[in-house]
Amino acid sequence: MKTIFAVVLTAIALGASPNILAAESAAHNHSHGSVEPTKLHLNVGKKWATDEPLRQAMNDINQAMAKAIPAIHKNQYGNDDYQALATTISEKVAYAIQNCKLEPQADAMLHLVIADLMEGAETMRGKTSKSRHDGAVQALEALKAYGKYFQHTGWKAAKG
């Protein structure tokens, strides 16, 4: 626990957002002791169960992406816009991690979606060698994967 606290304090001192750090820390520590899968798959041919906090967080991320897509396509989405979108994703992921209660196997599958969302958010922040646009594409792909592998009545991933 002290190690995580020290990392968070160091990162905040270097200018990282506390919300992003909370999401990343929770994503790394939100485990049920099983080996993490490396590839998304269905639950014996069926989508994984979700709960209301997860569905709300994913709806919020999906709506933010849908709102951003037209400006992204017109190359009218600036660095500050990408930064704000990345922050929204990180905050919603943190909310989901703190509030959703999935069974362990569904939770393990969700970690793969969350990892892609968070990596996309970091790319949108300009923290990787990829373009910010690539980060938005990665986040969209994570939303599509969520819809393919998780039960969420009425889910339609934002169109890129």
What domains, with CATH codes, occur in the chain? 44-149 (1.20.120)
**Continuous H helices in the chain:** 2-13, 18-29, 52-73, 79-99, 104-124, 132-149
Phi, psi dihedral angles at 150 (to 5 degrees): -125, 140
Report residue 36's pLDDT band, with 50, 70 and 90 as the boundaries.
low
Q: Where is pLDDT greater, at 131 or 27?
A: 131
Find the mean pLDDT for residues 96-122: 96
Report residue 118's pLDDT band, with 50, 70 and 90 as the boundaries.
very high
Distances (CA, A) of 102 to 16, 30, 76, 159: 29, 11, 38, 27
Confidence at residue 9, expressed as pLDDT on a 0 to 100 scale: 34
With a pLDDT cut of 70, the percent of the chain lying above it is: 77
Chain mean pLDDT for the chain: 84
Q: Are 113 and 97 in contact (CB under 8 A)?
A: no
pLDDT at 148 over 70: yes
pLDDT at 13 over 70: no
Residue owning tokens 């990282």: 16
Confidence at residue 2, expressed as pLDDT on a 0 to 100 scale: 33
